[in-house]
């Protein structure tokens, strides 16, 4: 059955920044184009689109190469072809549309069989998943998912462990589902699957990006940890589960649990769509990764963990080939994440350069999420915010120095 839902806001998001040109190039030449899987579901739900789009087309790879001279071939585990334009990426699967209508898709879960014809904006539902997607749109308070052991989240026959873990993690991070029950039931099933093709660097980068731009990244990360994916590919995070926190300051649990808790306190970057800042999310993910590597010094149990965590972040993100500018921003956030707490007590000579950074407001958001997840309350955060606001106010005042001291009259030059 086809289901039609024309969401103008979602349509604008998906066709912005080069998307319309990419699709029209193919459609105007007689080829069919559909959004598939996550991209189609996000359109239906009106979520802010991820910076990459999954596309189905009946144009074969030689046709794509003829139309797009920048087409590249990311590998069999990801897509037949890929294209970057306007800050976005498109991942193409080339297939026969008659087969597609008969549910010949390569995803691990039937939920991802939903697709949307770009020309007509109609949604196609070859596997009958519309009831569950409709429930997703209604929000957590109204959800009452069908039984049958959450069959919507049961991997299809022939699926391998890595694909099921990665897709299942992103489904949970983006759409929630019944988190506790779903994690408890799906992890043992995925663990029993054969390993399959090892995910490449690009696949892992897309996965992590997708998780961190989603409303509930902690759900996806918990699934990946439970399935053994994190221990095998991202051990920098698995060891966080072995480091206990002081119950006085972190009653929420160990370093892993604390890190996962911080994501709950992020604020969307815009109304609607539930879009999140990737830099903030990466900063939260890595901010305590130096603790397993640090040693106690006096009253400081995790001495130097911010600097050590910054090195972990830099090495990890380089391994996954993230953009160098994004790596630099993440390193800044992780390295300086302890400074906001001391802001009211430190002299300006120690803090001015860091506060002058355009990233400092994001650093303050990291501090807020960090404090919120530790049950300490936000008094210290508000005190630090007042110190930062005073710095900004004095910096704009030509008659005062950045620390608020009056300047000599002849210091101000008109």
Band of pLDDT at residue 251, cut at 50, 70 and 90: low
Reference 179, options 214, 207, 226, 216; nearest CA is: 216
Q: Are 143 and 135 in contact (CB under 8 A)?
A: yes
* pLDDT tens per residue across span 123-164: 999 888 888 888 887 765 444 554 544 566 788 888 999 999
Which range (17-21, 138-142, 254-258, 352-356) has the least confidence?
138-142
Give 385's contacts (C-beta < 8 A, 6+ positions apart): 364
In a 3-state reduction of DSSP, which class is residue 79?
strand
pLDDT of residue 272: 59
In a 3-state reduction of DSSP, which class is residue 301?
strand
pLDDT of residue 158: 86
Q: What is the mean pLDDT of residues 375-387?
A: 89
Reference 172, options 223, 117, 108; nearest CA is: 223
Q: What is the mean pLDDT of residues 13-34?
A: 80
Band of pLDDT at residue 121, cut at 50, 70 and 90: very high
Instruction: Report the number of distinct structural domains present in the chain.
Output: 2
On whether both 68 and 164 belong to a single domain, the answer is: no
Instruction: Confirm whether 348 is domain-assigned.
Output: no
Instruction: Confirm whether 204 is domain-assigned.
Output: yes
Band of pLDDT at residue 273, cut at 50, 70 and 90: low
**Domain range for 197:** 145-233
Instruction: Confirm whether 131 is domain-assigned.
Output: yes
Reference 83, options 15, 21, 22, 10; nearest CA is: 22
On whether both 37 and 131 belong to a single domain, the answer is: yes
Q: What is the mean pLDDT of residues 217-236?
A: 96
On whether both 200 and 111 belong to a single domain, the answer is: no
pLDDT of residue 148: 43
Q: What is the mean pLDDT of residues 295-305?
A: 76
Q: What is the mean pLDDT of the chain?
A: 84
Q: Indicate if the pLDDT at residue 8 is higher than 80.
A: no
Reference 207, options 40, 113, 78; nearest CA is: 78
For residue 376, with 0-12 CB atoms within 10 Å meaning exposed, 13-18 middle and 19 or more buried, which class applies? middle
pLDDT of residue 359: 96
Q: Determine the Cα–Cα distance for residues 108 and 162; give it in Å rounded to an integer.
A: 10
Instruction: Confirm whether 25 is domain-assigned.
Output: yes
CATH number at residue 25: 3.30.460.10
On whether both 115 and 172 belong to a single domain, the answer is: no
On whether both 128 and 165 belong to a single domain, the answer is: no
On whether both 126 and 153 belong to a single domain, the answer is: no
On whether both 91 and 204 belong to a single domain, the answer is: no
The more confident residue out of 209 and 248 is 209
pLDDT of residue 179: 59
Half-sphere exposure of 259 (CA within 13 A, CB side): 29
Boundary residue ending a domain (135, 157, 181): 135
The more confident residue out of 390 and 402 is 390
Boundary residue ending a domain (79, 109, 135): 135
pLDDT of residue 302: 77
Band of pLDDT at residue 105, cut at 50, 70 and 90: low
Q: Indicate if the pLDDT at residue 49 is higher than 50.
A: yes
Instruction: Confirm whether 332 is domain-assigned.
Output: no
Reference 182, options 146, 149, 229; nearest CA is: 149
Band of pLDDT at residue 248, cut at 50, 70 and 90: low
The more confident residue out of 81 and 6 is 81
* pLDDT tens per residue across span 172-208: 999 886 556 678 888 999 999 999 999 999 999 999 9
Instruction: Confirm whether 283 is domain-assigned.
Output: no
């Amino acid at each position: 059955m086809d289901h039609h839902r024309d969401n103008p806001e979602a349509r604008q998001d998906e066709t912005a920044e080069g998307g319309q040109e990419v699709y029209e190039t193919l459609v105007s030449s007689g080829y069919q184009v559909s959004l598939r899987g996550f991209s189609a579901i996000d359109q239906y739900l009106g979520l802010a689109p991820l910076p990459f789009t999954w596309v189905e087309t009946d144009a074969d790879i030689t046709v794509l190469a003829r139309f797009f001279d920048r087409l590249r071939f990311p590998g069999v585990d990801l897509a037949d072809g890929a294209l970057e334009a306007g800050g976005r990426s498109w991942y193409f699967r080339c297939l026969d549309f008659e087969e597609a209508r008969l549910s010949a898709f390569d995803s691990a879960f039937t939920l991802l069989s939903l697709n949307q014809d770009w020309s007509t904006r109609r949604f196609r539902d070859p596997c009958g998943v519309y009831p569950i997607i409709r429930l997703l749109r209604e929000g957590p308070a109204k959800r009452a998912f069908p039984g049958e052991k959450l069959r919507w989240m049961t991997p299809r026959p022939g699926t391998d462990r890595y694909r099921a873990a990665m897709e299942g993690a992103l489904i949970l991070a983006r759409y929630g589902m019944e988190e506790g029950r779903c994690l408890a039931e799906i992890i043992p099933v995925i663990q029993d699957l054969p390993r399959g093709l090892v995910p490449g660097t690009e696949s892992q980068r897309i996965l992590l990006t997708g998780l961190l731009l989603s409303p509930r990244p902690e759900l996806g990360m918990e699934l990946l940890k439970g399935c053994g994916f994190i221990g095998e590919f991202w051990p920098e995070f698995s060891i966080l589960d072995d480091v206990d926190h002081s119950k006085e300051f972190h009653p929420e649990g160990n370093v892993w649990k604390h890190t996962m808790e911080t994501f709950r306190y992020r604020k969307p970057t815009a109304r609607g769509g539930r879009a999140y800042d990737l830099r903030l999310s990466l900063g939260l993910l890595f901010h305590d990764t130096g603790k397993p590597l640090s040693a106690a010094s006096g009253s400081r149990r995790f001495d130097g963990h911010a600097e050590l965590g910054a090195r972990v972040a830099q090495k990890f993100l380089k391994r996954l080939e993230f953009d160098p500018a994004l790596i630099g921003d993440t390193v800044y956030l992780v390295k300086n994440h302890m400074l906001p707490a001391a802001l009211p007590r430190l002299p300006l000579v120690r803090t001015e350069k860091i506060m002058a950074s355009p990233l400092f407001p994001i650093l303050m958001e990291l501090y807020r999420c960090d404090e919120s997840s530790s049950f300490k309350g936000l008094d210290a955060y508000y005190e630090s915010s007042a110190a930062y606001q005073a710095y900004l106010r004095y910096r704009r005042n030509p008659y005062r120095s950045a620390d608020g001291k009056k300047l000599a009259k002849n210091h101000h030059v008109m």
